[in-house]
Structure 1
Amino acid sequence: MTDSTTAPPRTSRREVVQAMSGLMMGMFMSILASTIVSNALPRIIADLNGSQSVYTWVVTTELLAMTATVPLWGKLADLYSRKLLIQLSLGLFVVGSLIAGFSPNVEVLIASRVVQGLGAGGMTALATIVMAAMIPPRELGRYSGIFGAVFGVGTVAGPLIGGLLVDTEWLGWRWCFFIGVPFTLAAIYLLQRTLHLPVVRREVKIDYLGAALIVAGVSTLLVWTSLAGNEFAWASAWSAVLVAAGVVLLALAVWVESRAAEPVVPLSIFANRTAALATVASALVGVAMFGGTVFLSQYFQIGMGKTPTQAGLMSLPLIFGLLVSSTVAGQLITKWGRWKAFLIAGGVVMVVGMLLLSTIDAGTTVFVVSVHMAVLGVGVGMLMQNLVLAAQNDVPARDLGTTTSTLTFFRSLGGAIGVSVLGAVLANRVTSLMAEKFGPVAAGGGEVPDLAALPEPVRAVVQDIYATATAELFLIGAPIAAVALIAVLFIKEKPLKTQSGDERLAAEMAGH
């Protein structure tokens, strides 16, 4: 524990790099967990005798738990030991992974994904918070870029590793969950040895009612976007009930938070122009990022007739673009101390990438699609972590945790809602095009077609239908990306601070 008025010693470059090794390993495993099941799910659901709705829930439950609990982890980080919290989140992740690996049925598997999601939510929020505590904003760009690269590699490695494990006879799908356990335990050990953060004790109370209302409201809306278009129509009584319930719960959360002494998400954050605009842009970047990766994979497999493993490899240009741009932009921001130009450039490039991808069809070559994806990746890479950097630089140190987790929360929320809504648009467009080409009987089932079982002329038409529908999604996504760019344009550039988060906090507390 440090005295509240004494500035903690500056963390050395060597200590930062050592701590980063544990943080990055933990972050990589939490990202891997959410992507590794994508190619393995058909086998998992078949082995456990699950239905199509269970298929959706295995993915959705982890996303729900992760997204809904991010703000709470952020608040806890402002109050308690960040080192202990990050180890706790990794511990939850290990427990969830073990339960998932030994699952005897789909019910246990879904419960395990909730536990995994709680751990992943903590890791997602806390990794960036811990970085901000150790590293001044002026130096943070360099490390944020590396984190962006880890995020990208984890996203693309997951489906490839999952496919490989499922196809390896002596391993099987259960190793999709077991594989992360030793690495996560190693991350906990590394953090115990290398992460040295002061604990500043503050006598405060957590607003548990506000936290419960936020989690309940967000979960209700995410359940709606996950089920609408599949289990019931978007314009239906179920939709009305779930939306109304979600909105009422979130309105109550705002009312409770506005009166709480220690709110989970301080409304004062949104009074800060930089934080408010960065939050809006983060949510919209989430739509572009998740929408791009989810639906391009289906386009490769159905629109272009590729195998799941080939589809995983074809995602590499997008990830490579994200990896290079986030790393290079981070290094240049640290070198020059200027960040807004990179946000604007990222916004422009992201819009261009969406527009380019809206031109694809079944005959587009792999090379052309790869170039378009790389452009989108470059745009997202320049925006994603640097929006967090801009907000962290402009808020009081006492709000670093809640601000960081709020941005992460809205990015995940944007991604979840974006995938659900764009998925429904894709399904409706495919159904209408199928009816147009083959008549209403062919479109009635709504199942994803097995290309190998279709005669050649029919296969060509089906591929064209999926390619057309996917291209239209990117045409819808382009104006969404343009709104993110407009939000970025209104963010005012401020010099990057040269004190770490902990140094700033000590100075703030000394001033009181």
Structure 2
Amino acid sequence: MTTETAKPAAAAKPAGEGTEERRPRSVRVVLLALMIAMLLAMLDNMIIGTAMPTIVGELGGLEHLSWVVTAYTLATAASTPIWGKLGDMYGRKGVFLTAIVIFLIGSALSGMAQDMGQLIGFRTVQGLGAGGLMVGVMAIIGDLIPPRERGRYQGMMAGVMALAMIGGPLVGGTITDHWGWRWSFYINLPLGAVALAMVTAVLHLPKKERDRSTRIDFLGAALLTVGITAIVLVTTWGGTEYAWGSATVIGLSVAGVAALAAFLWAETRASDPVVPLHIFRSRNFTLMSVIGFLTGFVMFGAVLFLPLFQQSVQGASATNSGLLLLPMLLAMMVVSLVSGRITTNSGKYKIFPIIGTALMVIGLFLLAQMDTGTSRLTSGVYMAVLGAGMGFLMQITMLVAQNSVEMKDMGVASSATTLFRTLGSSFGVAIMGALFTSRVQDEMAAHGGSELTRQSAQLDAASLAKLPAALREAYQDAVASGTHSAFLVGAAVAVTGFVLAFLVKEVALRGAGPEPKAAPEDARKTVETV
């Protein structure tokens, strides 16, 4: 079986000399390029969110505002499994470079948009590339680094995620204020060019010969795209643009279920399916996909409501909203790094999903107890507990999923796991958001302030400051009540993950782990195969 490899960055030394030093250095150079690409995909929406008021002020089209984000999200989610399959069929490097180029083209065009319609269209192009970036990074890492060794690099990936969530709003605000909103897109170009150059120069992969008898599963790809699109639109529009019981939401739900059912039928008959269903025969892969879905559900719900609570109830500034999540993100990064090291040294991992889901349940339950009297220190401790739980899960779910499939299915396994987490985030935001909105509006109606929250349950700082003291206090109580309901639901969802974690089977991770110093002949093989 051919394994894609990264050549050592330095000139080869005689076998047996400096083998251990050369190998990590070459991998780290490749990982640096991959992390830049991953940062591009994760940072984009964080930056654009801050710039949106300015964009609307210049381009108009306020009624289409949500589509600037929705178009990107849809394109990313729908293209994710297709990028993974293309990488399996044609080789990682070429497909990954193509995704970077498409993302950069979409970024440049978005920066040049002259009206809201153009911006939405160009954001779709950008989203298509972003889908390939995330999957490409995960699949290449899966090919280059054996699961047993991958834990030592987990901290890098968790760090990139924390950097995107904390730095995104800050960078977006600074760029918009000083350079203009168009540079919120143009900033991707130099970063993307660096990633493109580094991947081209450093990542040397053998050309993959495709079996000419196989055909691209166009029917499966089309049905999956329709199904994912319908599901994301339901979770995005339900309770906001349209009522949950509206014909539009019900119609999309039926269409999504029908498309996915047809997709499953088509995949059983395709000669080379876009998502081979046999990967779900692995108990660990299926469990990690579901736990990844639940982690996405909880994480993005927390990212949505924690800043809202701290701004509305605790009086924090919206400008530094990313910094409000620092306790959660730092805990997540540190725990991910430590658990990764332990996995590398011991080869054991089953305990981590159990501990992670347990901490998520505890953290969410604690967050559900917050009220108008909760201090920032106390809420920070609660967030750290939740972050620690997610730290045990964020990378381990991908690691175990990739370890559960053959190397030839690494791309589709990575894309399927990523897709489940993405869909989980969509459902989490939708369901927790619906509960929050309903609770806030009910509480405000009881205090005679229903008109204030009839259009939106979230009031900005300016609107909140203008309210009479009695109504302001009522709104703060309502927000505390709404977050209580949302986090309790999140805790209930996390309990499901806790139960499933006990079903994970401890299967030996591929890769040798810590070894004694290699003999000259063994060292030569190590360098050649990474």
Question: TM range, normalised to the smaller chain?
Answer: over 0.9
Letter in 1 for 2:207: V
Alignment of 1:150-169 (within 5 A): 150-168=160-178
> Partners in 2 of 1:6 and 1:437 — Cα distance?
65
Q: Is the 8 A contact 2:51 2:173 kept in 1?
A: yes
Mapped partners of 2:4, 2:200: distance in 1: 22
Please give the secondary structure, in 1, of the residue aligned with 2:245. coil
Shift of 1:369: 1.0
Deviation at 1:83, TM superposition (A): 0.9
Match of 2:400 among 386, 390, 396: 390
Contact conserved, 2:437 with 2:457, CA < 8 A, in 1? Answer: no
Gaps of 5+ in 1: 501-512
Partner of 2:454: 444
- Shift in Å, 1:455: 2.4
Tell me the distance in 2 between the aligned counterparts of 1:362 and 1:6: 56
User: After superposition, where does 1:193-272 map in structure 2 within 5 Å?
Assistant: 193-203=201-211, 204-272=214-282
The number of residue pairs the alignment matches comes to: 494
Distance in 2 of aligned mates of 1:125 and 1:191? 15
Where does 1:399-478 land on structure 2 (aligned, <5 Å)?
399-438=409-448, 440-446=450-456, 448-449=458-459, 450-478=463-491
Task: Give the 3 Å change call, closer, same or farther, for CA 105–186 of structure 1 in structure 2.
Answer: same
In structure 1, what is the equivalent of residue 316 of structure 2?
306
Matched with 1:19 is: 30
Q: Tell me which amino acid in the other structure corresponds to 2:510.
A: K
The alpha-carbon deviation at position 80 of structure 1 amounts to: 0.9
SS in structure 1 of the partner of residue 142 of structure 2: helix
The runs of 5 or more residues in structure 2 that have no matched partner are 9-22, 514-530
Q: 2:49 aligns with which of 19, 38, 54?
A: 38
Match of 1:337 in 2: 347
Kept after mapping to 2: 8 A contact 1:278/1:388: yes
Given the alignment, which residue of 359, 370, 380 partners 1:370?
Answer: 380
- 5 Å-filtered alignment, 1:283-322, equals 283-322=293-332
SS of the equivalent of 1:469 reads helix
CA deviations 1:376-410 (Å, max 9, x no partner) are 11111110110111121121111111111100010
Given that residues 146 and 326 in structure 1 are in contact (C-alpha distance below 8 angstroms), is that contact kept between their aligned partners in structure 2? no
What amino acid does structure 2 have at the position aligned with 1:387? T
Give 3-state SS (helix, strand or coil) of 1:309's partner.
coil
Distance change in 2, residues 1:202/1:296 (3 Å)? same
Tell me the amino acid that sits aligned with residue 42 of structure 1. Answer: P
Against the structure 1 CA distance between its residues 415 and 191, is the aligned structure 2 distance closer, same or farther, given a 3 Å change threshold?
same
Q: CA deviation at 1:172?
A: 2.1
Aligned-residue offset at 1:300 = 2.2
Q: What is the SS of the residue equivalent to 1:390?
A: helix
Residues 441, 188 of structure 1: alpha-carbon distance in 2 compared, 3 angstrom cutoff: closer
> Do 1:64 and 1:117's aligned partners in 2 also have CA atoms closer than 8 Å?
yes
Shift of 1:424: 2.0
Between the aligned partners of 2:143 and 2:453, the Cα distance in structure 1 is 54
Give the Cα–Cα distance (whole angstroms) in 1 for the partners of residues 59 and 452 of structure 2.
29
Instruction: Tell me what 1:493 maps to.
Output: 506
CA distance in 1, matches of 2:215, 2:148: 33
Alignment match, 2:195? 187
Contact 2:275/2:412 (8 A) holds in 1: yes
SS of residue paired to 2:316: coil
Name the structure 1 match of 2:12.
none
* 8 A contact 1:432–1:443 mirrored in 2: no
Amino acid corresponding to residue 394 of structure 2 in structure 1: M
> CA 1:112–1:239 in structure 2 vs 1: closer, same or farther (change >3 Å)?
same
Check if 1:49 corresponds to 2:57. no
Closer, same or farther: CA 6–88 of 1 in aligned 2, 3 Å: closer
1:480 aligned residue: 493
Residue identity matched to 1:37: I
Q: Quick one: structure 1 residues 443 and 29, their matched pair in 2 at CA, closer, same or farther if it must change by over 3 Å?
A: closer
Q: Distance in 2 between matches of 1:484 and 1:5?
A: 36
What displacement does 1:42 show?
Answer: 2.3
Partners of 1:7 and 1:312 in 2: CA distance = 37
4+ long deviations beyond 3 Å: 4-11, 439-448
- Change in 2 beyond 3 A, CA 1:43/1:301: farther
Asked if structure 2 preserves the Cα contact closer than 8 Å seen for 1:435 and 1:442, the reply is no
- Asked whether the 8 Å contact 1:347–1:485 carries over to 2, the reply is yes
1:224 corresponds to which letter in structure 2? V
Instruction: State the alpha-carbon separation in 2 of the partners of residues 440 and 367 from structure 1.
Output: 32
Task: Give the match's secondary structure for 2:348.
Answer: coil
Q: For residue 70 of structure 1, give the secondary structure of its aligned residue in structure 2.
A: helix
The code of the aligned residue for 1:372 comes to Y
Relative to structure 1, the CA distance from residue 188 to residue 443 in structure 2 (aligned partners, 3 Å threshold; closer, same or farther) is closer
Please, what is the CA RMSD of the aligned residues? 1.9
Question: With structure 1 as the length reference, what TM-score do the two structures score?
Answer: 0.93
**Matching residue within 112, 120, 137 for 2:130:** 120
Alignment of 1:49-128 (within 5 A): 49-51=60-62, 53-128=63-138
The one-letter amino acid of 2:466's match is A
Instruction: Report the Cα offset of residue 10 of structure 1.
Output: 8.4
TM-score by length of 2: 0.90
Contact 1:163 1:308 (8 Å CA) reproduced: no
CA deviation profile, 1:34-90 (whole Å, cap 9, x unmatched):
211222222222322232x52322222211111111111111111112111111111
